[in-house]
């Protein structure tokens, strides 16, 4: 089983031994990544909308973000599973992840982050997840 780490850029002690993959639209200066994986980056202005709306109503802003990001991932994983079935392969053979890779976020461990949402989809796709 492939193990993936979900961690903050700013906490390298939580990173796995494999590649560093960004799932954010920006990264810290001078931080070297192997690649980005755009399907897991919140689409459009999702994060900016969340930040603007949280000043007015934190709960509603969070609920809206979770709904939109969950929909984005649902569509991605349905399509990926369909492609996997069409090719007669497990979904892990179609996705670019390798054992020990780290998917990187800005938020540190313990802070609200979309890593929890993503982790559930990855577990459902058969990955072992180390959630930091």
In a domain, 80, yes or no: yes
**Once rounded to an integer, what is the mean pLDDT over residues 47-64?**
88
In a domain, 89, yes or no: yes
Q: What's the chain's average pLDDT?
A: 93
Q: Which domain covers residue 24, as residue numbers?
A: 3-30+44-131
pLDDT at 91 over 90: yes
In a domain, 120, yes or no: yes
DSSP SS3 for 36: strand
- Give pTM, 2 decimals: 0.92
In a domain, 35, yes or no: no
pLDDT in tens, 15-45: 999 999 999 988 888 889 999 999 999 998 8
Question: Do 16 and 34 touch, CB atoms closer than 8 A?
Answer: no
Report CA dihedral (6, 11, 12, 14) to the nearest 10 degrees: -50
Question: Do 73 and 42 touch, CB atoms closer than 8 A?
Answer: no
pLDDT at 87 over 80: yes
Q: Which residues of 74-102 are buried (b: 16+ CB within 10 A; e: fewer)?
A: eeebeebeeebeeeeeebbeebebeeebb
pLDDT of residue 58: 85
Distance, in Å, from the CA atom of 97 to the CA atom of 129, rounded to the nearest integer, reads: 12
% pLDDT > 70, the chain = 98
Query: How many domains does the chain fold into?
Result: 1
Bridge-based pairing of strands 35-36 and 20-22 is parallel
In a domain, 37, yes or no: no
């Amino acid at each position: 089983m492939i193990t993936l780490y979900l961690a903050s850029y700013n906490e390298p002690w939580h990173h796995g031994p494999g590649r560093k993959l960004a799932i954010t639209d920006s990264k810290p200066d001078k931080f070297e990544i192997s690649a980005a994986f755009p399907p897991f980056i919140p689409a459009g202005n999702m994060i900016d909308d969340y930040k603007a709306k949280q000043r007015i109503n934190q709960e509603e802003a969070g609920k809206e973000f979770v709904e939109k990001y969950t929909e984005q991932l649902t569509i991605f994983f349905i399509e990926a599973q369909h492609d996997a079935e069409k090719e007669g392969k497990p979904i892990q053979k179609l996705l670019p992840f390798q054992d020990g890779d780290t998917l990187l976020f800005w938020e540190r461990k313990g802070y609200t982050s979309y890593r929890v949402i993503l982790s559930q989809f990855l577990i459902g796709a058969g990955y072992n997840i180390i959630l930091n």
